[in-house]
Amino acid sequence: MFSFILRRLGLLLPTFFGITLITFGLIRLIPGDPVEVMVGERTLDPQMHADAMHRLGLDKPIYLQYVDYLHNLATGHLGESLVTKDSVWKEFTTLFPATLELAVMAMLFAAVFGLLAGVIAAIKRGSIFDHGVMGLALTGFSMPIFWWGLILIMFFSVKLGWTPVSGRLDLAFDIAPRTGFMLIDAWLAEAADPSLNAGAFKDALKHLILPAIVLGTIPLAVIARMTRSSMLEVLREDYVRTARAKGLSPARVIFIHTLRNAMIPVLTVMGLQVGTLMGGAVLTETIFSWPGIGKWLIDAISRRDYPVVQNGILMVATLVILVNFIVDILYGIANPRIRHAK
Amino acid sequence: MSLLQIKNLSVEFGSDKNPFRAVEGLDLTVDQGEIVGIVGESGSGKSVTMMAMMGLLEGQGRIVADQLEFDGKNLLTISARERRKIVGKDISMIFQDPMTALNPSFTVGYQIMEVLKLHQGLRGAALKARALELMEMVEIPAAASRLSAYPHQLSGGMSQRVAIAMAIACNPKLLIADEPTTALDVTIQAQIMELLVSLQQSQNMALILITHDLAVVAEVAQRLAVMYAGQVAEMGKVPDIFRHPTHPYTEALLKSIPEHSKGAHRLSTLPGIVPGQYDRPSGCLLSPRCPYVQERCRAERPALTPLPQGAVRCHFPLYDKESR
Amino acid sequence: MANVQASPVATAADEVALSYPSPLKEFWQGFSHNKGAVAGLIFMIAIAVSALLAPWLAPYNPIEQYRDAILAPPAWMDGGTSRFLFGTDELGRDLLSRLIHGARLSLLIGLTSVVMAMVPGVILGLIAAFFPKVLGSLIMRLMDIMMALPALLLAVAIVAILGPGLINTMIAIAIVALPAYVRLTRASAMTELNRDYVTASRVAGAGLLRLMFVCVLPNCMAPLIVHATMSFSSAILEAAALGFLGLGVQPPTPEWGTMLASARDYIERAWWVVTLPGVTILLSVLAINLMGDGLRDALDPKLKRAA
């Protein structure tokens, strides 16, 4: 198992360096003067311009600039935002829990309902339920989620008034960020001071539910489709017949003997959905004014805050490859044939 | 009374408009401690019959029978829950391809112990001891360490031994072996057959041996049913059938065994294949392939006729040659 | 020993087997078997026709502002007029005309970016398959890196560099779609390379280009066509998403996603401004995906059996 993890780790590093190359090149591909791009000011004075070039290391050969960039990354210097002057790392770590909370809830929603729908559709193959679920799954897969978000807001927030339109928590509550996860923070605050913060947890949940559904829609559809086809494939396997010939209950045959094996491709697909989630977070956070990484990046792009764009993308990409790495490891645990492959 | 009694069993697949009878009017009895062979080409309905009896067709096939009784219990009216108490315990089955019959995600030990937990309620040390004992009964070397092996780490022969261990775990009264050696190497085939027969004797189980290999049946079975296109063509005691086959199909099968065609220049074969869903002849199902075919055979389907030594489904059985 | 005649059944079967359907007919039989795929095809033909004939079909100029009819509801609503069938937007522009003209842009972006991704993708994939050692693994590592970035984020980053606009949207979407084509082509070319017919052509002295494009590529086309359909639909979605974020096609050009960018402000007042462009996107993408499922059933016998 240990050597299996090491082998996967060996594949991870080149990918990471490749991404640093892309984010490094990103800034240099922007048309226009590099100082203007980096500092965000129009320095007209040639002397100041030359100073800035030197200060930023832009007068060095390009490969040395890349080495500098890597060195800065290794020592944790991700640069500063041109707008807020805060360090990019600090902004990232402040905003990231909001995105993580949203993404985890979306994935939970997608995984629970996707697996359930896929398994039932496979068992009831050819039934009305099966056709209905697969039709809905293809619709979900085809969904422009930014529009889906607007429609849900229009219906549940504006028309029915069930959920708030935007943000993470009602302004009436003043809750100190402790974990960064609003559900947990609100729950802690409510427990600590029930009179002041009554209903904070419920309010946080109400804020979270629509964005999570919107963000989870495409993963839900993908997981449902994949689960169904994978289940159908495994249900035809000889060992499922063996399990039934043992006199095991249908539930045990489905959930232990079939689902365990059908999960292997589903897990891979779930891992790939993490990328979709991060892309979707950009849209979802924009619609719901959710203060997370996605909205941060879009705002940075519209403000031409290039250090944030550059290293924000690096952080997100690193995150995605890390999650895929973890999925790979889980895959190995779920599938003994892979783990033992030399 | 017989352990297993099947009367007039039919299994139908496909839609109501376009049905396909995989098994038609099948009769079979198996007594306690007896070995019965079922022989036929692929697609002749051997496996489907057994799967129908065990409830493994999962609603895909429609099962009709006058009688389907095991150990005094009516398998036709029994609830699914009650059936599962019998299946895997009193009736168990081993399958053709051991490499795909075991679940790749679980260890061999887990898969054996699963049966013991379910049907015998064994737990803890007793469970482990019994699993080990079973592994030793099926002559798996280094049994203790193999309990934690995954199926992909075992050879085909080893896997089939594990499958047998799983099947005999609860001392079944009836073991169904569906082509248990077909997917194995020739040298392993003999070992597995030997193991099956010795277990059958020591456990006093009844054994139904499904095979397309008459030679295997000749060695071990007491009685034999020859199936063709979902019907029993002939049944009787093994020595009788081997000495005097009464059905042309049985005769053709016997002629295709090398040991039986001594002196012949070439091994005999029966041309053509078992008729499928759409090309069933209106007369005797064998009529397109039968060397002795007559006008009546093409027009009229024969019924299974009892004989002193068994039964045969033929208008012109081979014992009264003068009627031809 | 019994001497038996050849069975009459066998000869009858041979005769039946002689009349194979033509590949095109066989494909259509497989495709038309899938009702959803046919429905998708009909819908897409309708969209394509309205895109081609947009100037004649659309009742108004899509960027003409009718100041007297700002946010006019659709004709069937209270206060709606038959003048504007689907109502007007916040600047008094006719929604139906904008949607019809928007079909042109969406199809244009979809088609162009599919071609722009597929051609280099197939060439790179073939190179990676034919030279697996150095060049191949270099290409594949590069594709791995591109795939590590979430598709929409990569597109956003590219547009952030190049600036918003129609051409840059197409380029961004094509770059995002490229790695999947390379991987797919390489994978199917690798399996084909091991087949005997390739060895036979090699022995017969076929040149590298002939091997690549005449010998191997046609046999990799089935999965590529299916994937092209799917990437066509995701191109439309991504273009709309970029437009929604204000990074795609710029107003007043009537692009479906761009039309939704300002729609958030009218959630409470004018549902049609919010709903109609989105429904159009959803239905188009759904139609293409339905077609994709049908194509896969008809073209890929392996997947057909699994389905």
Which chain C residues touch B275 with a CB distance below 8 Å?
Answer: 9
Q: How far is C25 from chain B (nearest CA, A)?
A: 24
Contact residues on chain A for C275, CB-CB shorter than 8 A: 151
Inter-CA distances, C130 with A89, C124, C178, C208, C224, Å: 43, 10, 18, 9, 18
Residue A38 has a pLDDT of 65
With beta carbons less than 8 A apart as the criterion, state whether B309 and B250 touch: no
Which pLDDT tens digit goes with each residue over A9-52? 887 888 888 888 888 887 777 776 667 766 666 656 777 777 77
Segment C222-266, tens digit of pLDDT = 889 889 999 999 999 999 999 998 888 888 888 898 888 888 788
Q: Burial code of C8-24, b = ≥16 C-beta within 10 A, e = fewer?
A: ebeeeeeeeeeeeeeee
Q: Which residues contact B271 (CB under 8 A, 6 or more apart)?
A: B289, C4, C5, C6, C7, C10
Question: Whose CA is closest to B56, among B66, B48, B64?
Answer: B48
The amino acid at residue C222 is A
Cβ neighbours around C31 below 10 Å, total: 18
- Return the number of other C-beta atoms located less than 10 Å from residue C283's C-beta: 16
The confidence score (pLDDT) of residue A111 equals 94
Which chain C residue's Cα is nearest to B265?
A: C1
At A173, is the secondary structure helix, strand, or coil? coil
Q: What are phi and psi of B6, to 5 degrees?
A: -120, 125
pLDDT, mean of residues B270-285: 77
Is the model's pLDDT at C8 over the cut of 80? no
- DSSP code of A87? B
Give CA–CA dist B302/B296, Å, rounded. Answer: 9
Give me the residue from C2, C7, C10 closest to B255, CB to CB.
C2
Residue of A217, A184, A214 whose CA lies nearest to A111: A217
Q: Quick one: pLDDT at residue C173?
A: 93
**C267: chain A residues, CB-CB within 8 Å:** 150, 153-154, 158
Beta strands B206-211 and B35-39 are parallel
Query: Is C150 in Cβ contact with A279 (below 8 Å)?
Result: yes
Q: How far is B66 from chain C (nearest CA, A)?
A: 34
Q: Does B26 score more than 60 pLDDT?
A: yes
Residue-range definition of the domain harbouring residue B246: 228-323
Domain chopping of chain C, boundaries: 32-306
Q: How many CB atoms lie within 10 A of CB C72?
A: 23
Size of the A and C interface in Cβ pairs below 8 Å = 132
Amino acid A44: pLDDT: 64
Q: Based on the fold, state whether residues B157 and B92 are members of the same structural domain.
A: yes
Q: Which of B158, B189, B221 is the last residue of a domain?
A: B221
Return all residues near C304 (Cβ < 8 A) that are at least 6 apart. Answer: C30, C296, C297, C298
Among B221, B255, B285, the domain boundary falls at B221
Q: 């969209």: which residue's tokens?
A: C47
pLDDT digits (tens, 9 = 90+) for B115-141: 999 999 888 899 999 999 999 989 898
Angstrom distance (rounded) from CA C259 to CA C250: 10
* Highest mean pLDDT out of A22-31, B14-23, B38-47: B38-47
Q: How many domains does chain B have?
A: 2
C153 → closest Cβ in A146, A278, A287? A278
| Cβ proximity of B206 and B279 under 8 Å | no
Give me chain B's average pLDDT, please: 86
For residue C17, is pLDDT > 70?
A: no
pLDDT, residue C38, reads: 92
Characterise A335 by phi-psi region: left (phi > 0), alpha (psi -120 to 50), beta (else): beta
* B14 and B138 fall within a common domain: yes
- My answer on whether B213 and B260 are in the same domain is no
**pLDDT at residue A338 in the model:** 66
ipTM above 0.90, yes or no: no
Query: In this complex, is the C-beta atom of A260 within 8 Å of any C-beta atom belonging to chain B?
Result: yes
The pair of structure tokens assigned to A37 is 């791009």
Whether the pLDDT of residue B180 is over 70: the answer is: yes
Residue of A nearest to C265 (CA): A150
Verify whether the Cβ–Cβ distance C7 to B291 is below 8 Å.
no
Q: What is the CATH number of the domain that holds B8?
A: 3.40.50.300
C-alpha pair distances (Å), B320 with each of B238, B304, B316: 20, 16, 8
**Residues B216 and B235 both lie in one domain:** no
Nearest-angstrom CA–CA distance, A319 and C150: 11
First to last CA, chain A: 11
Tell me whether strands B206-211 and B174-178 are parallel, antiparallel or unpaired. Answer: parallel
Three-state SS at C87: coil
Is A244's Cβ below 8 Å from some Cβ in B?
A: yes
Same domain, B183 and B150: yes
For C11, nearest residue in chain B (alpha carbons): B272
- In which residue ranges of chain A is pLDDT below 50? 342
What is each CA distance from C141 to A33, C138, C182, in whole angstroms? 31, 5, 11
Which ranges of chain A would DSSP assign to H, the alpha helix?
2-29, 34-39, 46-55, 62-74, 88-123, 128-141, 145-152, 182-192, 200-235, 238-245, 250-252, 259-288, 293-302, 306-334, 336-340
For residue B226, the 8-state DSSP code is E
**Alpha-carbon span A105 to A100, nearest angstrom:** 8
Please state the pTM of the whole predicted model: 0.84
- Which of A232-241, B52-61, C182-191 comes out lowest in average pLDDT? B52-61
**Cα→Cα distances B277→A67, B12, B21, B22, B229, Å:** 72, 11, 8, 9, 10
Give yes or no: residues B211 and B277 share one domain: no
Residue B308 and residue B234 share a domain: yes
For residues B217 and B281, state if they share a domain.
no
Q: Residue B316 has which token pair? A: 């012109």
Question: Residue C160: which region, alpha, beta or left (left: phi > 0; alpha: psi -120 to 50)?
Answer: alpha
Q: Please check whether residues B202 and B260 belong to one and the same domain.
A: no
Nearest to B6 by CA among B304, B248, B270, B271: B304
With a cut of 60, say whether residue C272 has pLDDT above it.
yes
* Distance (Å) of CA C113 to CA A11, A280, B10, B319, C224: 30, 21, 58, 78, 15
Q: Which domains does chain A have, with CATH numbers?
A: 2-74 (no CATH), 88-339 (1.10.3720.10)
- B155-188 per-residue burial string, b: 16 or more CB within 10 A, e: under 16: eebbbbbbbbbbbbbbebbbbbbbbbbebbeeeb
pLDDT score of B230:
86
Neighbours of chain A (3+ CB pairs under 8 A): B, C
Q: Is there a contact between B284 and C21 (Cβ–Cβ < 8 Å)?
A: no
Clarify whether residues B210 and B286 are in a common domain: no
How many angstroms separate the CA atoms of B58 and B54, rounded? 10
CB atoms within 10 A of CB B257: 15
pLDDT at C18 over 60: no
Give a three-class secondary structure readout of B138-157.
CCCCCHHHHCCCCHHHCCHH
Average pLDDT, chain C: 84
Query: Which of helix, strand or coil describes residue A338?
Result: helix
- C chain contacts of residue A321, beta-carbon cutoff 8 Å: 148
Note the pLDDT of residue A63: 82
Q: How far is CA C39 from CA A118, A299, B168, C24, in A?
A: 24, 41, 55, 19
**How far apart are alpha carbons A89 and A43 in whole angstroms?**
27
Residue B272: which of C1, C2, C10 has the nearest Cβ? Answer: C10
pLDDT for B268 equals 66
Domain range C32-306, its CATH number among 1.10.3720.10, 1.10.287.610, 3.10.20.70, 1.10.460.10: 1.10.3720.10
pLDDT in tens, C42-99: 999 999 999 999 888 888 888 888 888 777 788 787 777 777 888 888 888 888 989 9
Burial label, B92 (beta-carbon count in 10 A; 0-12, 13-18, 19+) = buried
DSSP state of B87: B
* pLDDT exceeds 90 at position B302: no
Residue of higher predicted confidence among C12 and C266: C266
B170 and B276: one domain?
Answer: no
Q: Is the pLDDT of residue B273 over 90?
A: no
Helix H or strand E segment including C15: helix C8-18
Are the beta carbons of B116 and B122 closer than 8 angstroms? yes
A241 touches chain B (CB under 8 A): yes
Determine the pLDDT at residue A133.
Answer: 93
Please report which residue ranges of C131-220 form alpha helices under DSSP H. Answer: 137-148, 151-162, 166-193, 196-203, 208-209
Residue C20 has pLDDT above 70, yes or no: no
- Smallest CA-to-CA distance from C289 within C102, C36, C112, C31 is with C36
> Beta strand pairing status for B91-94 and B174-178?
parallel
Dist CA A6 CA C140 (whole Å) = 21
Query: What pLDDT score does A311 carry?
Result: 87
Q: Which of B221, B251, B284 is the last residue of a domain?
A: B221
Q: Identify whether residues B98 and B13 lie together within a single domain.
A: yes
Residue C271: pLDDT band with limits 50, 70, 90: confident
